[in-house]
Structure 1
Amino acid sequence: MRSSSGRNSSGNNGGSRGGNSGGRGGSGGGRGNYRGAGNARDDKQGGRPKRPRPEERRYDVGPGATQEGPKSGRGPTARGGAKGGPKKPLQRGRSVPATSREYEARAEERNRERYAGKKDVKLPKTFPGAEQEGERLQKVLARAGYGSRRSCEELIEQARVEVNGEIVLEQGKRVDPEKDEVKVDGLTVATQSYQFFSLNKPAGVVSTMEDPEGRQCLGDYVTNRETRLFHVGRLDTETEGVILLTNHGELAHRLTHPKYGVKKTYLAHIVGPIPRDLGKRLKDGIQLEDGYARADHFRVVEQTGKNYLVEVTLHEGRKHIVRRMLAEAGFPVDKLVRTAFGPITLGDQKSGWLRRLSNTEVGMLMKEVDL
């Protein structure tokens, strides 16, 4: 019973599958007839162009192409594309140059012929003086450290900037940083890439940029600078205080020249008691082995018993000048600190610290020596 029922069920299933397949076949045939009818209807309408099938499209282009072309794959002269065809169709009626150089030469020749008889086009000027050489004034001021270009334009609008002695009121004026003299609020601007530093030199540091004996020197504090700096004047090894470093040769020369008489201020620790006329003696002049030395100013800053802290100001720069003057007057110096070099003061700058001078300080230094 079980075997016969199994055979019957398999037979029925086979018959149903055959019927279904026949149904699908019939429906497939219907679709084929519909497509064929649509194609025939398209053929009857002459207005619509007949689109070739993919296997009938031409992929062979360019010189030497055949009329029929290959049915699949790239042609021998195909130029590329998603299916081997060209990205851009060639224009008819024009010859294709053999090389890109030849094409560029022909294009250049056509451009020359086109613009041969035309006048030169003059571009509009963005501001007065645009045809001049040099840099814009606001750009020069910004590079010198006076803020952003907009801030420098405001300085010009406020009539605070002058070039070669004339106040500038127009924006976009061009200047030559190498030749023109630029001032802000009456102080000269260092328009070139100059650097100015103040170092509070500690005791025991040699006032040289390099020391052959290996002692600590000024160059040890500026080893990471790209521009070579040099010191302005000297301080003896045991003297502390302000010493300037720069790469502006003319400024350094004038600051140390006796003609300009730049003043230096020192604080000296001596042991008293001191007479009342010590200041007068120093101002009148002390006879030294290399001539008279005179102080411009003298005062007692502090007194603690016999210990005195005195301030001496003078414009000379001879070696050990303050120590020698006080020692000749009968008061050897225990400790000496230079607190000011011209307008540059020590302030609260710590020993061994290097700081960059502000634009105002640089301008005051230049004004001190007529730069």
Structure 2
Amino acid sequence: MLDYNNPTVAREQLLQCNNSSLATIIEYYFTQANINEIEKLYTLSRYFRNKYYSNKVYFRGLIEISSYCKQDCYYCGIRKSNKKANRYRLDKGTILECCEKGNKLGFKTFVLQGGEDPFFTKDIMIDICSSIKKQFPKSALTLSIGELDYDFYKKLKENGVDRFLLRHETATKSHYEKLHPPFMSFDNRQNCLKILKELKYQTGAGFMVDSPFQNIETIANDLIFLKNLNPEMIGMGPFLPHKDTPFKNFKILNINHTLILLALVRILVPKALIPATTALATVDKKYSDLALINSANVIMPNLSPTNHRKDYSLYNNKKSWGNESAQQILNISENLNNLNLCADFSRGDYFDLQ
């Protein structure tokens, strides 16, 4: 197993793994390792998180701009075919109001996230993004709005977008095809990530843990994919079913799998900015706390209008980091302090860009 006494050697051991040997390591931590060994893995992960980011946890203000989506992912509550989904989209004025609220609370990164909504054309998104950057020039702007073409990504970058989140979902084509309908393309999604890196975005990838039809081999592929892509941000959370999707009857599995994989990813891609995802907090707040103690260093409180939050329903019972009140932000900061972590409201750029 890994050399727990020497983090550099332990990382090198992981870097040298092929798919088969990495799968063996993952399976060992999932099924055989005792609590003491898993804690040693977390200690390695903390070493790398602290080496590059100390005990800082960066705050991002999340704005969920649309629950319309042209895609039809089998796991997602806002998929095109879900006729029961409540659809909304925010106009430019509302989005800017959300940013203003966040700015007053001290946020220096805004994350605009939404389904792949055809309403938000290139011109509309350029107008929104350039307006945000004009009003908040010292803030970073992140988008998470799905698969676009090269020119769309390029124009957004030229108009102030700093970062783009696009989970790769799975690095195994046969697995991708079990999670998505035939009109969606594994190759296109991979190509989008290549474009984002080429355009020098701070790029985010990632995947769900324990998604339907996932196995140890596909997870090993995911970790090797992340190692090779070397994204600036990595988002990983447990699969949680949504009651109005084809995957409604799939169960939530072992949440510790997510915590173990977050640690392995932190060791493999040590400079990555890694959020403690809402999905972890939805299962139990203790899991998001453990993720932050051991591996993660980003949280994303929700700045979206409160009347729409329940409509951005990707999975059942989605929790929030809380609303955008000053008291709630103070409560989150105090919780971090109790975990020996430090709330950080700066832009929180990738280590090499700080």
Same fold by TM (over 0.5)?
A: no
Whose RCO is larger (CA < 8 A, sep 6+)? 2
More strand by share: 1
Larger Rg: 1
Kindly indicate which of the two structures has a greater share of residues assigned to helix: 2
